């Protein structure tokens, strides 16, 4: 493989890769669900709690000021990560799902009305389906769905047919968690804007693989989770254009999101605090900066190139297995490999691979409508990160042959 990364040195940064599973060295191929965390991030978490644990923004003592500074440094770091125009366009959330719900609840309830149309795609995660269904039930909006082809790619001509003057919102996944498909989001956004619709991108999978520039994309909202980018769980961000966020009412009420409270009236805080009620997930926000610094040290283009080499290697290798069918063969993909094997249930594949120390994800991957599109109940999914190797993929191939011998 031709790449500029020292993969063994990178593997040494991730303590969990030394774990044994069923007596075998861990082979972790469930990165689309969550990535493992480098020592740098683990040290940042413990360092916060050991040295400057304090509530933020309101205190004037030394620890509070140090914690506030570290917290806000992460906001500026995430602004740079997405190339947002303003730091206050970065809203801290609990993750991608929380960000989508914030937009559906705040923007949707305020600006959408009965008869307005919302467009999503066939390959959406449940997190980008259910909030819009709830909004449609409440407000009388209409949900439309963009179809896909057999390779797992959005049919853009069908998308254009769905767009009308009634289209008010488009919410699509940047990269499919089940298929690995990279969607042509810049074109999707431009066409939506042409009919006056706003656009949200679900960036949960894209954020660890692709360089994201929200100004270049011109998306109105972008939601992601840090645990997919070598960062901690329970923490994400919502990017929103400043004018839109200013026009939206708060999503939750409580401390921090207020300027002044009386029993007669409450005046709300300015951005970004208007959407950040209560004591936030301070330690994980602080550690997020270190995860992004780690990614930057390796270089996102270097990571993407290496992951693509792993995907190519794995795709060719599994294609030699009789009865195996890859689900999702888009021309533009990230390192996600979903497959089914004739006559063997995906859950059985996962259990038997786990006995060999190999972690893959099985099931519908929170994309049941997508599984229905392919007339399957689920897949086995191997998803690769920068610390994975071709030797581990070889173990996967051996493991799949063993599964076939036992159950085929």
* Active site (catalytic) residues: 366
Tokens for 155, please give them.
């049919």
Task: Tell me the three-class secondary structure of 249-284, residue by residue.
Answer: CCCCCCCCCEEEECCCCEEECCCCHHHCCCCCCHHH
> In degrees rounded to 5, what are phi and psi of residue 342?
-50, 130
Name the strand (E) or helix (H) holding 8: helix 7-12
For residue 232, how many other CB atoms are within 10 A of its CB?
Answer: 23
Helix 390-407 / helix 300-318 crossing angle, nearest 10 deg: 30
d(CA 240, CA 246): 10
Contact 385, 7 (CB under 8 A): no
Contact 218, 244 (CB under 8 A): no
Q: Which residues, other chains included, contact 106 with Cβ-Cβ below 8 Å and sequence gap of 6+?
A: 248, 249, 250, 251, 275
Q: Round to the nearest angstrom and report the end-to-end CA distance of the chain.
A: 33
For residue 42, how many other CB atoms are within 10 A of its CB?
Answer: 16
For residue 190, how many other CB atoms are within 10 A of its CB?
Answer: 13
Instruction: Kindly provide the b/e burial profile for residues 354-373, where b requires at least 16 CB atoms within 10 angstroms of the residue's own CB.
Output: bebbbbbbbbbbbbeebbeb
Name the strand (E) or helix (H) holding 12: helix 7-12
Nearest to 88 by CA among 275, 255, 260, 352: 275
């Amino acid at each position: 493989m031709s790449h500029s990364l020292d993969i063994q040195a990178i593997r040494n940064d991730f303590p969990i890769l030394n774990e044994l599973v069923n007596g075998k060295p861990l082979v972790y191929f469930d990165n689309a669900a969550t990535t493992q965390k480098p020592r740098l991030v683990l040290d940042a978490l413990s360092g916060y709690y050991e040295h400057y644990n304090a509530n933020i923004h309101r205190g004037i003592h030394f620890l509070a000021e140090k914690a506030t500074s570290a917290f806000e440094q992460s906001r500026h770091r995430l602004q740079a990560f997405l190339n947002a125009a303003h730091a206050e366009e970065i809203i801290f959330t609990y993750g991608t799902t929380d960000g989508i719900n914030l937009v559906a609840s705040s923007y949707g309830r305020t600006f959408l009305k009965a008869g307005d149309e919302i467009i999503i795609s066939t390959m959406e995660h449940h997190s980008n389906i259910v909030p819009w269904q709830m909004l449609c039930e409440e407000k009388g909006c209409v949900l439309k769905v963009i179809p896909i082809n057999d390779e797992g790619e959005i049919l853009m001509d069908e998308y254009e047919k769905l767009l009308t003057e009634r289209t008010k919102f488009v919410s699509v996944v940047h990269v499919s968690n089940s298929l690995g498909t990279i969607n042509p989001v810049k074109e999707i956004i431009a066409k939506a804007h042409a009919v006056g619709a706003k656009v949200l991108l679900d960036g949960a999978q894209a954020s660890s693989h692709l360089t994201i520039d929200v100004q270049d994309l011109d998306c109105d909202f972008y939601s992601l989770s840090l645990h997919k980018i070598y960062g901690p769980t329970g923490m994400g961000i919502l990017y929103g254009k400043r004018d839109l966020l200013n026009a939206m009412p708060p999503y939750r009420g409580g401390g921090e999101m207020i300027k002044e409270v009386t029993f007669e009236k409450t005046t709300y805080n300015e951005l970004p605090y208007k959407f950040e009620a209560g004591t936030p997930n301070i330690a994980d926000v602080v550690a997020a900066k270190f995860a992004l610094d780690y990614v930057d040290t390796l270089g996102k283009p270097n990571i993407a190139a290496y992951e693509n080499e792993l995907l190519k290697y794995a795709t060719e290798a599994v294609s030699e297995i009789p009865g195996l069918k890859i689900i999702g063969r888009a021309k533009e993909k990230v390192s996600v490999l979903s497959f089914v094997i004739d006559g063997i249930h995906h859950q059985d594949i996962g259990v038997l691979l786990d006995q060999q120390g190999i972690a893959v994800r099985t099931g519908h991957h929170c994309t049941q409508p997508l599984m229905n599109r392919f007339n399957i109940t689920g897949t086995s999914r191997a998803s690769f990160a920068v610390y994975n190797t071709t030797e581990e993929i070889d173990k996967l191939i051996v493991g799949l042959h063993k599964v076939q011998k036992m159950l085929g």
